[in-house]
Structure formats: C-alpha cells, structure tokens
Copies of this chain bind each other. A is one copy, B any other.
Amino acid sequence: MESIEDWAGKIFAGDPRAIGKAISAIENGDPSSDALLKALFPRTGGALIAGITGSPGTGKSTLTDKLALHYREQGKTLGIIAVDPTSPFTGGAILGDRIRMPALSTDEGVYIRSMATRGRLGGLASATLDAVSVLEAAGKDIILVETVGVGQDEVEIAELADVTLLLLVPGSGDSIQSFKAGVMEIADVFVVNKADYEGADRLVREVTALIELAPPENPWTPPIVSTVATTGEGVDRLAQAIGDFSDFSREKELAQARLRRRWRKRLVELLERRLVQSVMEGRVSSEELSGYVEDIVARKQDPYSVVEEMMRRAGLN
C-alpha cells in the first residue's frame, strides 16, 4: 500500500490517477481521505473557484466547457467538478453520463470529474470542498464547480465558490418571480444563456429590475452577461466579469470574509463528525446503541434523555 506522503506527492505532481483515487476516497467517506487532505492542505487555497449553477436545461455543462476552453487558450490549467445529487427521482445521470467536449477530455491541462453523494456524512457540499482542495493541491489555476441547481445542496455548494454564476434561460418555467430574495445573495454574476432565444431581452430586463431591489448596502452589483453557450458567444465577456468580481472581491476583502465563513462551517462539520465517531467508537458500543433504539421504539425512554445519558458517558455535559 502506498503511503499518504507518496499519494500526496503524486497529487502535487498533477497525476490524474492519484487525483481520481483521492476524490473517490472523499466520495466514499474513506478514512484515508482525512489524512490525505491534511497532507495536501498547505498547498491549497491558490485556485479561483467558480460555481456554475442554474436549473436543469439552462446549458450549464456546455457553458462550463466553453469557459474551460477560454481559460485553456490563456494557458491556465483547470479542474472541473460536475456535482450530481444522485437523486432517484431526477436520475443520477444528468451530469454524469454527459460526454464532455473531446477538446477538453483529451487535454492534460484539464481534470474533469463527476461527483455524487452516496450518503456521505457531512453531505455533498463538504465532499465537493474536499475535492476542490485536491485539485488546488494538484496545481489547477481555476476550478469550475457545476451543479444541477435544484436544492439546498446547490446553495451550499455555491457558498464554497469564490464566484458564483447563476444561469437563466429565456422562456423557461424559471419565471423571475420564483427567484425570491435568496438568489440575490448567491449570484455574483447572472448569465442569460440561450440569448438568441425569444424573450432574452425581457429576461435581462427582469433580472435588472431584480438586482435593483437588492439592499443598497450590497457592495457588489452583479452584472448580467448574455451568452450563447453552443456557439461560445459572450464567453469572453463572462470570463471578464468573473475576473472583475474576483478582483473586486479581493480588494474589498469580500474574498477573505467568504473564506472565513467557508472554513468556520467546515471546521464545525469536521468537529461534528469526529465527536460522533469518538463517542460511537469508544464509549457507546453498537449493541448499546441498538439497546437505546429498542427503548425508544418501545417508548420506554425518550431520545432526548438517551442523548443526555450518552453525553454523560462521554464525560461531556
């Protein structure tokens, strides 16, 4: 078996097999991933992380590919993570089975990976943040995180990005009325994709009106960039808008504030996981836990009192 140091060394060198193995370990919640991430940590924090989100059918994958090509032409290396909540309802295949542009999938400067949750403790957002760390340690300049954008998971993933793009398309069910306040907080750049479709102008006007409703203390006014992902139209302007926000964010220390929020949350999650592991492994055996569960099911004890008892046994109260 390979040592953590060797594994980390290969990742620092950008070895795609070592990167892939690391992301699989993260996905599966394999304990080796913690030790690895610890070893990788000093070399993380260097990439620009862009979240690309929006409802299914807005053209996220196509736009992600075009954006990646644009950055490649500038000599930048990329990681692309397509996050897939693996719901049995929507089918796990929305992103996973999609075939990427050949220009990207054969390019050694680009690492592409789909990620699913598989019930990992801490959820999809943590797994994605850890995978981003692996790609940062592998020296990628830019990391594009693409989500299907339908639930709370995606909001959390947006929170881990340095800049978040929200894609909208004209004439979709996506009426602007449905967007409510929450979206203003996560979109740093609005993208009106399929801008050659009917209704694009109206959508731009609606989003403009929505942006004007934002509280005046918001330091950044999100730009609206019109694109046609299939032809690549507008992708250069989109990259410019991403760069602008990134500069602004660093200047105004927004970037630092986001980093702090991100790591505070991650730290609490890690603590949560380790605390439960510690109690479950060392202090309360699996049989004892089953006994507690029996008592609860039989209504002999309530779960709140059981937890208090477990806390006492762990010496915490």
A interface residue numbers (CB < 8 A to B): 34-35, 37-38, 41-42, 44-45, 53-55, 85-93, 117, 124, 149-155, 177-183, 185-186, 256, 259-260, 263-264, 266-268, 270-272, 274-276, 278-280, 282, 289-290, 292-294, 296-297, 299, 302-308, 310-311, 314-317
Of all chain B residues, which has the CB nearest A315?
B315
- CB <8 Å contact, B90 and A41: no
- CB <8 Å contact, A297 and B89: no
Distance in Å from the Cβ of A116 to the closest Cβ of chain B?
Answer: 10
Could you say which residues of chain B place their CB within 8 Å of the CB of A304?
34-35, 37-38, 41, 270
Q: Which residue of B152, B259, B263 is within 8 Å of A85 (Cβ)?
A: B152
Whole-angstrom CA separation of A64 from B183 in the bound complex: 30
Distance in Å from the Cβ of A304 to the closest Cβ of chain B?
Answer: 4
Contact A151/B279 with A260-B293, A297-B259 known, Cβ cut-off 8 Å: no
- CB <8 Å contact, B88 and A179: yes
Of all chain B residues, which has the CB nearest A183?
B88
Closest 3 CB pairs of A and B: A88-B182, A91-B178, A41-B302
Q: Which residue of B37, B92, B260 is within 8 Å of A294 (Cβ)?
A: B260
Of all chain B residues, which has the CB nearest A256?
B297
Distance in Å from the Cβ of A132 to the closest Cβ of chain B?
Answer: 14
Could you say which residues of chain B place their CB within 8 Å of the CB of A302?
37-38, 41-42
Whole-angstrom CA separation of A289 from B261 in the bound complex: 12
- CB <8 Å contact, A293 and B275: no
Distance in Å from the Cβ of A203 to the closest Cβ of chain B?
Answer: 15
Could you say which residues of chain B place their CB within 8 Å of the CB of A296?
263, 267
Whole-angstrom CA separation of A280 from B177 in the bound complex: 40
Distance in Å from the Cβ of A238 to the closest Cβ of chain B?
Answer: 19
Distance in Å from the Cβ of A175 to the closest Cβ of chain B?
Answer: 8
Could you say which residues of chain B place their CB within 8 Å of the CB of A186?
88
Interface centre among A55, A275, A289 (most CB of B within 10 A): A275
Could you say which residues of chain B place their CB within 8 Å of the CB of A279?
271, 275, 316
- CB <8 Å contact, B311 and A278: yes
Could you say which residues of chain B place their CB within 8 Å of the CB of A310?
271
Interface centre among A185, A307, A317 (most CB of B within 10 A): A307
